[in-house]
Structure 1
Amino acid sequence: MTEHVEGGAGRTAGGRRLGRRPGSADTRGQILAAARETFAEKGFDKATVRGIARRAEVDPALVHHYFASKEGMFVAAMELPINPDEVIPALLAGPREEVGERLARFVLTMTSHAQARQPLLALVRTAMTNERMATMIREFLTHALISRVAQALDIPPIRVELAFSQLFGAVLARYVLRLEPIASVEVEELAGHLAPTVQGYLDPAS
């Protein structure tokens, strides 16, 4: 193992240190960023600690130092940059007949940013291959999202599930399958196409 030596020792001819990047104040963040990308690409089962460490350019021992296991790293990495306690009231504020449009625009705008989209895709891929994670994700979606929106709108939970299923399907078509023209159309236009269908699910049952 290359030791940390000041000066020329332990460096390449160009001045770069040999070996992997040592721990630093931002090492945890570097590992999380690499984990999000890896989980989004491979899902939970096929991602490896060594692969994530290689992408982050750190020693695998540092991954275990910051996260006790791959599961622990996944839980930290899938933390979305949104707070349901703030987002849900904002979505439900305003005219009831426009909630479908607000929801469609919010989901499509959020997922247009890789920082938010990658954890979401990691969740979807992991749920397809790991039942334990699928159960955890289902419980989170049911209690933190579906039930709260259904209660606020006074509609059956299945109608909220169908609304979100419509939007998640569009996200997968746009970013995973890359179906055209869904993949390249502007967010506002796509939201306009989806909003009436989403609104139909969220309207009071007739």
Structure 2
Amino acid sequence: FLSPTDDPVKYPYLTYDNVLVWRSFLILADVYEHFGEGEKAGKLTAKAARLRQDIQKHCIRQGPRGLMYAWSVGENGEYEILDQPPGSLQLLEYYGFCKKDDEVYQNTVRTIHSRANPDYAATGTFQAPACEHAPFPWVLSLAYELLNGDRKRALKLFEKAPLDNGIACETIDADTGWVKTGAAFATCAGFLAHSLAVALQESE
């Protein structure tokens, strides 16, 4: 089993991955409904509801700030508290899985953006969540802040950060904002462009 960073996982059931499947079921249900396949749409909607219940039952665990979404869980009650920017739990609200003011979600985000997160890049101008795969501030983490976090801070940091000569990259130096790993990261560039558009439109 691989995580969103393509690295092996400690426990096989990832909260983020299951939320993506939940969201995919709902999108497919809408497609079937649009084409008059009501029965198929209903089955997918029911599967999504069951999956959501299972995520809430098995993936909410005790963390450093109270109940929160675990990164991954095992079959015998094991779980792991961490986050990976390529598939961050901060996006659960963005995908519609929970509300922004949900206490469990808030505890999750507070943990991600704190020293309680073992991979948080806590020094320098460009402090942001990182991960073991690349232990430097991730540009994607700052992009998520544009969607549902500290938008003003993220906009200011992007104004300062030279990135990869103005091109989105995987991670940046915590002090200078210059590319550290993953130069010319196309996937990140697309998501960053979307996040900037959302942030600027909603700020008008």
TM-score (norm 2): 0.30
Give 1 or 2: higher strand fraction: 2
Q: Which has the larger radius of gyration?
A: 1
Larger helix proportion of the pair? 1
The one of the two structures with greater contact order (alpha-carbon pairs below 8 A, sep at least 6) is: 1
TM-score by length of 1: 0.30
